[in-house]
Homo-oligomer: A and B are copies of this chain.
Amino acid sequence: MPIDFDTIVTLSKNRGFVFPSSEIYGGLRSAYDYGPLGTALLRNVKAQWWRSMVQLRDDIVGIDSAVIQAPQVWEASGHLASFTDPLVECRECHNRFRVDKLDDPDQCPSCGSRDSFTEARNFNLLFRTNMGPVESSDNVVYLRPETAQGIFINFENVRRTARMKLPFGIAQIGKSFRNEITPGQFVFRTREFEQMEMEYFVAPDEGETWFRYWIDERERWYRDLGMNPEHLRLREHDPDELSHYSAGTYDVEYLFPWGWDELEGIANRTDFDLKAHSEHSGKDLRYYDAENDERFFPHVIEPAAGATRTTFAFLIDGYHEEEVRGETRVVLQLDRRLAPIKVAVLPLSKKPELIEVSTRVADELRPRWDVEHDVTQSIGRRYRRQDEIGTPYCVTVDFDTLEDQAVTVRDRDSMEQDRVSLDLLAGYLGERLGSC
Contacts and interface: CB of A to CB of B under 8 A. Distances in A.
A62 interface: yes
B158 A16 contact: yes
Given A28-B66, A131-B179, A277-B24, A35 B72 contact: no
A24 B158 contact: no
Contacts of A65: 21, 33-34
A113 interface: no
Given A73-B25, A179-B133, A36 B362 contact: no
Nearest to A65: B33
Copies of this chain present in the complex amount to 2
Given A133-B87, A134-B96, A68 B281 contact: no
Contacts of A435: 435
B157 A19 contact: yes
Q: Please indicate which of the listed interface residues A15, A43, A66, A134 has the most CB atoms of chain B within 10 Å of its own CB.
A: A66
A38 B157 CA distance: 13
Interface size grouping (class) on chain A: 35 or more
Interface in A21-63: 21-28, 31-40, 42-43, 55-56, 58, 61-63
A154 B35 contact: yes
A70 interface: yes
A25 B277 CA distance: 9
B162 A35 contact: yes
Given A63-B35, A129-B143, A22 B70 contact: yes
A340 to B, nearest CB: 10
Contact of A68 (B31, B55, B63, B285): B31
Interface stretch (A297-305, A315-323, A365-373, A417-425): A365-373
A142 B24 CA distance: 17
A82 interface: no
A36 B162 CA distance: 7
Contacts of A131: 28, 127, 179, 191
A357 interface: no
B24 A281 contact: yes
A55 B192 CA distance: 27
Contacts of A33: 63-66, 150, 154, 157
A281 to B, nearest CB: 4
B22 A69 contact: yes
